[in-house]
Amino acid sequence: MDGPMAQQVGPDARQAGGARGGRSRLLLACAGLAVAVLAVVPIAGQWLTNPPDQRLVDLEVYREGGLAVLRGAPLYDFLTQPPQLLPFTYPPIAAVLAVPFTLLPWGAAQWVWVGLIYLALAIAVWYAFRDLIRRTGRWAPLTAGVLFAATAWLDPVRDQVRFGQVGLFLLAMCLADCCARTPRWPRGALVGLAVAIKLVPGVFLIYFLITGRRDALVNSVLTAAAATLAGFALLPADSSAYWFGALLQGGDRTGAVDGTTNQAIHGIVARIFDEGPVRTVVWLVLALVVAYAGFGWARRVTLAADGLTGPAANSTLLAGVAIVGLLSVVLSPVGWIHHLVWMIAVIGALAGDGRDTRRCLLAFGLWFLFLWPLPWWGRAWIGPEHSVIAEFAGQVLRDSFGIAALASIAVLGTWLVKRAKPDIDQGDSSQPKAGVGTLAP
């Protein structure tokens, strides 16, 4: 049809198409949200409906710390209610930040805390999988919902909700600080705040130094120092007690280092050797070897990312950040299972934008591995009633998450960086070239 009638029909058709497109995007967004909510309801419901002394026990620690601040009571002398009897083990500024949760009833504080945990998970999922999410085009909201649901069921993430921990907050802060293309804050400031709340992210100060990110290093140090000095200004006695007392007690306050939940190198070694000089020497030697190799790989991968573009650059940079995050767990005297939320970044770095079949299969394998409480299954196989073979298998399974974390550091630092380089990727039959369509970049 030509002439004036065609000119009248055209805009109407475009408006109708736009309306259908808007409805489609809204439906996909609702579908993604529904998938995410349906995934977390059983997890949150399980722990929010348990007896008060068995749920979100770490939130209770933070909350009691905030109450100690308001009362002027010694921060590092109290223990939570039985049966946990847990002490406050974090820098004083963490207790100050927890004060708002003391103003809420215990039930409301739990709901708000769990909501914030899942908000942090959503941020972490975005930075870990943004290329894969974007590649799915108009299906991106549903893709994000599915990925959120998949990561919510990882055992370390479930434990974050179970204990009411801060690990996902720290993960989201570090990923945003290191992986945001153009941050709206001074790069490094979020890492500095994370270090002030909990010392473990301090490994990122080394990362900024060895990768030449001097501005980020300066911003991190200044932010951490400012927060720490604020703690001294607000709580001088508690700050002195922490930095010159409680901090030095280490494992005595955080728990038994040979417990199953400690998947750090120290925990693995402690389950093999009795306490004494031999255990200490073996642990320190292994930790130094892993630190040397790990930081070297993190530097190599990050510098390689600086020379790449597009999704390859993003996933390679994420790999470097994930290596450092895993080092914060395995090098620590105590690296609990719930600290291994850094596997989200590992899985995202491996998956990339979803074009490399082998990378996706490895990412899926790691995701599937961390769905199950394997260390606890291994613990059940250990005892005089089991055979030698079962005991050995149980010991290996008991250390499986720590072993997987160490293997992931090596895979990201060697294999992945080679897969991401265009000159190596060319001609690889497992990486089909992008075709035309929704999933094309």
**Dihedral of alpha carbons 411, 413, 414, 417, sign:** positive
Angle between helices 167-179 and 155-163 (to 10 degrees): 120
Task: Judge whether 421 and 308 are in contact, CB under 8 Å.
Answer: yes
**Where are the chain's structural domains?**
255-421
Distance CA 296, CA 300 (A): 6
pTM reported for the whole predicted model = 0.91
Angle at the Cα of 339 (from 38 to 254), degrees rounded to 5? 125
Task: Judge whether 243 and 224 are in contact, CB under 8 Å.
Answer: no
Using the structure block, give the residue that is written with the tokens 């979020």.
Answer: 190
pLDDT per residue rounded down to tens, the chain (441 residues): 455 554 555 655 556 555 666 788 899 999 999 999 999 999 999 998 877 667 799 999 999 999 999 999 999 998 888 888 889 999 999 999 999 999 999 999 999 999 999 999 999 999 999 999 999 999 999 999 999 999 999 999 999 999 999 999 999 999 999 999 999 999 999 999 999 999 999 999 999 999 999 999 999 999 999 999 999 999 999 999 999 877 766 545 566 899 999 999 999 999 999 999 999 999 999 999 999 999 999 999 999 999 888 889 999 999 999 999 999 999 999 999 999 999 999 999 999 999 999 999 999 999 999 999 999 999 999 988 889 999 999 999 999 999 999 999 999 999 998 887 753 344 344 454 443 333 333
Task: Judge whether 372 and 385 are in contact, CB under 8 Å.
Answer: no
Task: Judge whether 341 and 124 are in contact, CB under 8 Å.
Answer: yes
